[in-house]
Amino acid sequence: MASSRGIQSYPGLEGLKIRLSPPLDEVWSWIGDTEPVRLLAAAWDAPDSAPPMCPSISGKSGIGKCTLAVHTARTIFKMPVHLQNCDTSMTATSLTLSLLIDGGKGKLFQASPLVSALLTGAAVVLKDAGRLSERCWSLVAPLLDERQWLDVPSLGLRLRPKPGFRLCATINEGSLIHHVPDFIHARLAPRLRLEMPAGDDLEAVLRERSGMEDQRLVELVAAYVRHSREHVSVREGLHLLDFTRRIAAHEGLPLERAFQASLKAHARAEAIDPKA
């Protein structure tokens, strides 16, 4: 039963009052190769009443892992999406239900994005899941296999997902904290991997996301992203385009001169291949 201010009451949870986390409202559109969308959609499909699979999406930072998941959930399955930001400090409480208010009218609990998706039959993305502790993974493990439940140890509750619930985990390759226990690797399937967009796809992403119409400038930034001696993400390329536009407007410079100034100021400028 819904009440005001987004508070929900679930009789199946012993009458606990729970405030759900809101789903994402930003527009995240996938641009380029559609194969990753098709593969994720196939994993999340539910033929013959089989539960959706729980895939992982790995790859370098800033290349669109979360964008892929959000786009697929919204466009293919027409469902809301929650984003669960993972970090090393997470506990069972912060990953499930945390106490907000303990007053005269009873206790009010805040549901994590994971639990909010589970209770409403939405999709959830465990962002940067390699940062979760093994204890948190142990809590999530039954949700990834045939048991299909999530325990809330502090309250002695066992939650079962509403039909339609879907989950995937994104994993950053090359990060200092990058460990997923073997017992979780066995449950996260399939294991999808994203590569840097190639050729025209990378330029299309930069152009669409930045709103930059100057083709030559988009080509210059795409070359920087592709040919850098160190990994440069699509996100960093977008920052480079944005700063170039700001320098051009502020200094009254042509875009290509502004690009050189932006590149010089860029944190990874020394990684650019001078022959590119």
Same domain membership, residue 87 and residue 206: no
Q: How many domains does the chain have?
A: 2
Same domain membership, residue 162 and residue 251: no
Consecutive H or E run containing 192: strand 191-193
Q: Which of 163, 193, 223 is the last residue of a domain?
A: 193
Residue 276 falls inside a structural domain: no
Same domain membership, residue 252 and residue 137: no
- Cβ neighbours of residue 74 closer than 8 Å, sequence gap 6 or more: 28, 80, 81
Same domain membership, residue 137 and residue 217: no
Residue 275 falls inside a structural domain: no
Residue 178 falls inside a structural domain: yes
- The residue behind tokens 């093994």 is 134
Same domain membership, residue 111 and residue 163: yes
The pLDDT confidence band at residue 267, using thresholds 50, 70 and 90, is low
Same domain membership, residue 164 and residue 87: yes
Cis peptide preceding 274, ω within 30 of 0: no
Same domain membership, residue 204 and residue 189: no
Of all residues in the chain, what percent carry a pLDDT higher than 90? 49
Choose among 148, 25, 2: nearest CA to 81: 25
Residue 274 falls inside a structural domain: no
Same domain membership, residue 227 and residue 250: yes
Q: Which of 158, 193, 228 is the last residue of a domain?
A: 193
Beta strand extents in 2-156 (DSSP E only)? 7-10, 16-19, 56-59, 81-85, 97-103, 106-111, 123-127, 150-152
Same domain membership, residue 69 and residue 8: yes
Range of the domain at 19: 4-193
Q: What is the CATH number of the domain that holds 38?
A: 3.40.50.300
The mean predicted confidence, pLDDT, of the chain is: 86
User: Mean per-residue pLDDT for 117-131?
Assistant: 95
User: Mean per-residue pLDDT for 256-265?
Assistant: 86
Say what the pLDDT of residue 72 is: 97
User: Which is more confident, 120 or 47?
Assistant: 120
User: Which is more confident, 207 or 10?
Assistant: 207
pTM given for the model: 0.84
Q: Is the dihedral of CA 22, 54, 41, 211 positive or negative?
A: positive
Same domain membership, residue 116 and residue 30: yes
The pLDDT confidence band at residue 83, using thresholds 50, 70 and 90, is very high
pLDDT digits (tens, 9 = 90+) for 176-230: 555 788 999 899 999 999 988 877 888 888 888 888 888 888 888 888 888 877 7
Same domain membership, residue 170 and residue 217: no
Q: Choose the most confident range, by mean pLDDT, from 23-37, 92-106, 130-144, 187-201.
A: 130-144
Same domain membership, residue 90 and residue 15: yes
